[in-house]
């Protein structure tokens, strides 16, 4: 046996060291979580995922590693995920978001062959879903009447509100909208995949009023950029002629302005998401089908669209009567 040939004295190897060597040898072909994450994030960048999405996954998974102190992919278990979730001192809604991110990354580990079974699929967090209401047309018109459109900021915000309400585009897409995305001859927005969340091209119509206001805003933008010597072709810019979106956030100057208006004028439902939902509900009221509305919103899942529509149970019952 090997134990009988062990050297003694200064050349001796302790049982603890032998045991440690055995453990290290066992892990020699195992992939570390950090290396796995590096590969996955590289794959996501090549696939065209937004950097802010990758940064979010990275933040959450690093938090997972800090709490669980895991090193290797094969060490991740159902228990370690529950330990992570249990250690978070956040609302259940936030825990659900973190869990979804953990699952998304682990699924990519699975796709790369580093994990054989999707053991995390059974982990659930139940929360009571709060229905988010859309802004009413009355609230929108009230806001537009109250805003003093004599200044650049107020005029820009008015055009932003109408653009979101009449096209349903996201606040981040609004911040990245360029002049070449507007076809004034054909009266539509041509939104390429680079500014869309789902990276798919979308064409949305605009009416005469919005078209005229967008033209006026572009004229004002040219004066602002000329004064501050800034160069960009964004439709919605700051008062200093700069672009609004930040790389690490979907928030921008207009989003902050909407929050300010909501508090100042006592309008509880003035925000970008509420305007987007108002657009969806307005289409539904005019007879548009749910699949068409889903396409207009750029949703990949029609179930998300139905949540946006927030159909009242009595309203559903009345509509169903037409098919009896």
Q: If you count them, how many residues does the chain have? A: 324
Per-residue confidence (pLDDT) for residue 21, from 0 to 100: 46
Torsion sign across C-alpha atoms 177, 181, 184, 189:
negative
User: What is the average pLDDT value for the chain, to the nearest integer?
Assistant: 85
- Check whether 261 has a pLDDT greater than 70: yes
Instruction: Kindly report the pTM of this predicted structure.
Output: 0.64
Least confident span in 26-35, 96-105, 183-192:
26-35
Q: Is 112 helix (H, G, I), strand (E, B) or coil?
A: coil
The closest of 131, 142, 137 to 262, measured between CA atoms, is 142
Alpha carbons 321 and 133: distance in angstroms, whole number: 25
Return the structure tokens found at 64.
Answer: 């997972």
The Cα 206–Cα 189 span in angstroms is: 7
pLDDT tens column, 52-110: 889 999 999 999 999 999 999 999 999 999 999 999 998 888 999 999 999 999 999 99
Classify burial at 270, counting beta carbons within 10 Å of its beta carbon; exposed 0-12, middle 13-18, buried 19 or more.
buried
Which one has a higher pLDDT value, 27 or 195? 195
121: which 2 tokens?
């699929």
Question: Can you say whether the dihedral through the CA atoms of 20, 25, 26, 32 is positive or negative?
Answer: positive
> Hey, what domains does the chain have and what are their CATH numbers?
33-122 (1.10.150), 137-321 (1.10.443.10)
Q: Are 258 and 158 in contact (CB under 8 A)?
A: no
Token pair 């370690």: residue: 80
Residue 91: CB partners within 8 Å, gap ≥ 6? none
Q: Confirm if 48 and 199 have CB atoms less than 8 A apart.
A: yes
Candidates 224, 268, 276, 261; CA nearest to 148 is: 261
Q: Beta-strand (E) ranges in the chain? A: 182-183, 188-191, 202-205
């Amino acid at each position: 046996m090997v134990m009988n040939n062990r050297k003694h004295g200064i050349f001796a190897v302790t049982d603890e060291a032998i045991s440690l060597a055995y453990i290290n040898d066992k892990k020699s072909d195992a992939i570390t979580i950090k290396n796995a994450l590096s590969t996955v994030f590289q794959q996501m960048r090549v696939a065209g995922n937004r950097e802010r999405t990758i940064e979010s996954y990275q933040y959450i998974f690093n938090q997972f590693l800090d709490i669980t102190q895991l090193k290797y992919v094969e060490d991740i278990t159902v228990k370690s995920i529950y330990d992570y979730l249990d250690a978070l001192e956040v609302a259940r809604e936030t825990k659900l978001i973190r869990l979804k991110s953990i699952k998304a990354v682990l699924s990519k580990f699975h796709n790369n062959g580093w994990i054989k079974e999707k053991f995390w699929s059974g982990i659930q967090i139940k929360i009571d879903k709060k229905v988010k209401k859309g802004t009413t047309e009355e609230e929108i018109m009230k806001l537009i009447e109250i805003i003093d459109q004599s200044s650049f900021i107020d005029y820009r915000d008015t055009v932003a509100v109408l653009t979101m309400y009449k096209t349903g585009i996201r606040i981040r897409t609004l911040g990245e909208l360029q002049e070449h995305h507007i076809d004034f001859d054909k009266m539509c927005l041509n939104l390429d995949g680079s500014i869309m969340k789902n990276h798919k091209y979308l064409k949305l119509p605009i009416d005469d009023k919005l078209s005229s206001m967008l033209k006026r805003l572009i004229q004002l933008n040219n004066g602002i950029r000329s004064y501050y010597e800034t160069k960009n072709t964004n439709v919605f810019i700051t008062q200093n002629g700069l672009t609004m979106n930040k790389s690490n956030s979907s928030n921008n100057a207009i989003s902050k302005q909407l929050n300010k208006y909501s508090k100042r004028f006592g309008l509880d439902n003035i925000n970008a998401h509420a305007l987007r939902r108002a657009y969806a509900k307005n289409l539904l009221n005019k007879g548009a089908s749910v699949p068409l509305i889903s396409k207009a919103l750029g949703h990949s899942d029609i179930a998300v669209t139905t949540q946006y529509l927030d159909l009242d149970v009595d309203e559903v019952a009345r509509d169903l009567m037409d098919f009896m």
